[in-house]
Amino acid sequence: MTLGRGRRAVSAAFVVACAAAVVLAVVPLVLVLGFVVGRGVQALNADFFTRLPQPVGEAGGGMANAILGTLTLATLAAAMAVPIGVGTGLYLSEHSGRPFASLVRFAADTLNGVPSIVIGVFAYAVAVLPFQRFSALAGGFALGVMMIPIVARTTEELLLLVPESLREGALALGATRGRAMLGVVLPAALPGVVTAVVLALARVAGETAPLLFTSFNNRFFATSLTEPTSSLTVQVFTYAISPYEDWHRQAWAGALVLIVMVFGCSLLARLTTRRLERMHRGG
Amino acid sequence: MARRAPSVLFGGATTALASAVLVIVSAIAVVLTIDALPSIRRFGLEFWSGTVWDPVTQDFGALPFIWGTLYSSCLAIILAAPIALGSAVFIAEFAPPWLGQPLVFLIELLAAIPSIVYGLWGIFVLVPDIRRLELALPDALRQSPFFSGPPLGLGLLSAALLLAIMVIPFTASVAREVLRAVPLAQREAAYALGATPFEAVRAALHYARSGIAGAVMLGLGRALGETMAVAMVIGNTPKISLSIVQPQYTMAAVIANEFTEAAQPLYLSALVEIGLVLFAVTLVINALSRLLIWSMTR
């Protein structure tokens, strides 16, 4: 059985190689997080959250305007993407077999794969050029477009988790399809839908490329939605490619805040999904 | 009758909202095409073979950006695919649940890190390390066309490495789903015939080959469109070169860097045309990979 031993050795080597691949895949996470936390914490202080950026050459200052800007943009994006995304998700789960549903599903997946910079160019053409100004509205539109497919597909998946018996029960009691959906199935899936929105928000809040030429940047607080508006991501980018030591420190702090926001949302979403799955699968 | 009205309304409203997704995708194609027309009319096919990118003389050729995009993305995929597939196999086939679950979570976290954060880490940590590596290269290697040029750190190698890191979690999680869709009976049959774990997995991989190809292509689509991280480390120089240590440029990066500076309509139009092609290419790649994955997991 020398052949057997050779085969077993090959197999063992393969398992070890796969384990090594996992280690290689996870190492960057440790490295990136290590640096962001290590350098970010050093630069983070109360000023960062409460002060405006200082002019070049003066130390200190913060990113209060950028944090507020990111929240504004995320809110605008959600206002656009939640109705369309949830509506699409409802449609897809209700008519999953129809050819039109397949087409919509395909369009949503396509939209999800469009590079964010292309969405930025589109938003520039639609929401900046006609008005001849960069604005929070244009930035929110760009992020909203990116959010729609994520909300739609996640909502669809979570609605499918709701047991068929709930819907059948409602229909048996004489409810119309729409009533059964809105009155029974959607409420049962609501925590899931909220999760989908949070997850999508986490993703778009970290986007930079679609904001570069839609919401642009602003050294001060934007006073209206039709003004250029700063965001954490664009501000981190501007600071990172600048030649100033102090701005680099602030960029790390910005990255840390960004990561905490994004991971916080992802974690929250994950916990809710788990609970939802356990609830409906009766685990 | 009155009770039916809300139901009809509900059906109509959700259909309308679902149609909005179709409208947006079509609108992107139409709007980009219209705005790219001046450039398409002016340069025609020469836009794609021209190597000069000069806003001052209004001469625009996009070949260096296409070259940089393809070169960096392909290099990234070559680096990422074995690692992504290896970890997908480990998690799906070999890891016990207590280890598999946390690993899935860690890989999800990797996918959630914003591209700007990878870029920041790239500029301040990866690029200096790559520069040191390039300085340590033996002279014999430096003579070869793949490593010629001054050791700047900024360049194709840094971009490809960063892209590989960013693509791994996507490809790995899709590949894991695909492997999970392989019927358990496949493996049981292999083991029953006396196969080693490697041989059983090889059979599963063979069964899942179209889905695995889809997972790798999905990663390629991501890499082609990735903007910020690449723009921050690739050096942004429109020059066609085989050398992986030299600065180059990508399609997404040139749009990000020059769009707000493009004062003349033709300049802007040329950038939009690059965006249009990026849109078309990622569309085709995504459609193909979805098709491949769907044929596996449906």
Q: What angle do CA B164, B275, B110 make, to 5 degrees?
A: 25
> CA A72 from chain center: how many Å?
15
Average pLDDT over residues B164-186: 93
Q: Name the H helices within chain A.
A: 2-43, 46-50, 64-94, 99-113, 116-123, 136-161, 164-172, 177-180, 186-205, 232-240, 245-281
Reported residue count of chain A is 283
Over 80: is that where the pLDDT of B33 sits? yes
Q: What angle do CA B128, B130, B135 make, to 5 degrees?
A: 95
Give the three-class secondary structure for B46.
helix
Distance (Å) from the C-alpha of residue A167 to the closest C-alpha of chain B?
14
Question: Which residues of chain A are within 8 Å of residue B11 when distances are taken between CB atoms?
Answer: 177-178
User: Any idea what the CATH number is for the domain that residue B77 is in?
Assistant: 1.10.3720.10
Of A19, A179, A263, the CB nearest to B6: A179
Inform me whether the C-beta atom of residue A233 falls under 8 Å from chain B C-beta atoms: yes
pLDDT band at A175 (very low <50, low <70, confident <90, very high): confident
Give B202-231 pLDDT, tens digit per residue: 999 999 999 999 999 999 999 999 999 999
Between CA B14 and CA B232 the distance in angstroms is 42
| pLDDT given for residue A283 in this prediction | 38
Over 80: is that where the pLDDT of A274 sits? no
Percent of chain A at pLDDT exceeding 70: 98
Of A29, A100, A179, the CB nearest to B110: A29
List the structure tokens of B80.
Answer: 């990422």
| pLDDT given for residue B76 in this prediction | 97
Percent of chain B at pLDDT exceeding 70: 97
List the structure tokens of A66.
Answer: 């950028």
Over 70: is that where the pLDDT of B199 sits? yes
Among A208, A250, A271, most B C-beta atoms within 10 A, so best to mutate, is A208
Question: Least CA distance to B32: which residue of chain A?
Answer: A122
Over 90: is that where the pLDDT of A141 sits? yes
Q: Does B196 sit within 8 Å of A11, measured CB to CB?
A: yes
Inform me whether the C-beta atom of residue A236 falls under 8 Å from chain B C-beta atoms: yes
Average pLDDT over residues B32-50: 94
Over 80: is that where the pLDDT of B255 sits? yes
| pLDDT given for residue A281 in this prediction | 61
Question: Which residues of chain B are within 8 Å of residue A70 when distances are taken between CB atoms?
Answer: none
Over 70: is that where the pLDDT of B98 sits? yes
Over 50: is that where the pLDDT of B1 sits? no
Instruction: Tell me the helices (H) and strands (E) count for chain B, helix number first.
Output: 14, 2
Asked which of A21-25, B10-14, B21-25, B261-265 is least confident by mean pLDDT, the reply is B10-14
Beta strands per DSSP E along chain B: 53-54, 59-60
Question: Least CA distance to B23: which residue of chain A?
Answer: A107
Q: Does A26 sit within 8 Å of B110, measured CB to CB?
A: yes
> In terms of pLDDT, which residue wins out, A195 or B84?
B84
Give the three-class secondary structure for A61.
strand
Beta strands per DSSP E along chain A: none
Over 80: is that where the pLDDT of B5 sits? no
User: What's the predicted TM-score (pTM) here?
Assistant: 0.93
Over 50: is that where the pLDDT of B61 sits? yes
Give A2-53 pLDDT, tens digit per residue: 557 888 999 999 999 999 999 999 999 999 999 999 999 998 988 889 888 8
Between CA A244 and CA A57 the distance in angstroms is 8
Q: Does B17 sit within 8 Å of A84, measured CB to CB?
A: yes
Q: Does B120 sit within 8 Å of A25, measured CB to CB?
A: no
The answer, yes or no, to whether ipTM is higher than 0.90 is yes
Q: Which of residues 65 through 124 in chain A touch B, CB cutoff 8 A?
A: 83-84, 86-88, 90-92, 94, 100-101, 103-104, 106-111, 113-122, 124
pLDDT band at A60 (very low <50, low <70, confident <90, very high): confident
Q: Does B105 sit within 8 Å of A270, measured CB to CB?
A: yes
pLDDT band at A273 (very low <50, low <70, confident <90, very high): confident
Among B10, B93, B101, most A C-beta atoms within 10 A, so best to mutate, is B10
Of A18, A178, A233, the CB nearest to B90: A18
What domain count does chain B have?
1
Mean pLDDT of chain B: 92
Round to the nearest angstrom and report the end-to-end CA distance of chain A: 46
Question: Which residues of chain B are within 8 Å of residue A119 when distances are taken between CB atoms?
Answer: 28
Question: Which residues of chain B are within 8 Å of residue A217 when distances are taken between CB atoms?
Answer: none
For residue A221, the tally of other CB atoms under 10 A from its CB is 15
Distance (Å) from the C-alpha of residue B143 to the closest C-alpha of chain A?
30
Q: Does A111 sit within 8 Å of B118, measured CB to CB?
A: no
Asked which of B4-18, B25-39, B140-154, B273-287 is least confident by mean pLDDT, the reply is B4-18
pLDDT band at A125 (very low <50, low <70, confident <90, very high): very high
State the helix-helix crossing angle for A136-161 and A245-281, rounded to 10 degrees: 30
Give A210-269 pLDDT, tens digit per residue: 999 999 998 888 888 899 999 999 999 999 999 988 899 999 999 999 999 999 988 888
Inform me whether the C-beta atom of residue A274 falls under 8 Å from chain B C-beta atoms: no
> CA B65 from chain center: how many Å?
15
Question: Which residues of chain A are within 8 Å of residue B277 when distances are taken between CB atoms?
Answer: none
Between CA B280 and CA A267 the distance in angstroms is 34
| pLDDT given for residue A1 in this prediction | 45
Mean pLDDT of chain A: 89
- A48-281 — its CATH code? 1.10.3720.10
Between CA A209 and CA A116 the distance in angstroms is 6
Q: Please give the residue range of the domain that contains residue B231.
A: 4-297
List the structure tokens of B285.
Answer: 């790649």
Between CA B85 and CA B108 the distance in angstroms is 15
Q: What angle do CA A128, B248, B32 make, to 5 degrees?
A: 30
Average pLDDT over residues B93-99: 92
Between CA A99 and CA B18 the distance in angstroms is 13
| pLDDT given for residue B6 in this prediction | 64
Asked which of A174-183, B34-43, B44-53, B276-285 is least confident by mean pLDDT, the reply is A174-183
Among B9, B228, B236, B292, most A C-beta atoms within 10 A, so best to mutate, is B228
* Domain parsing of chain A, residue ranges: 2-43, 48-281
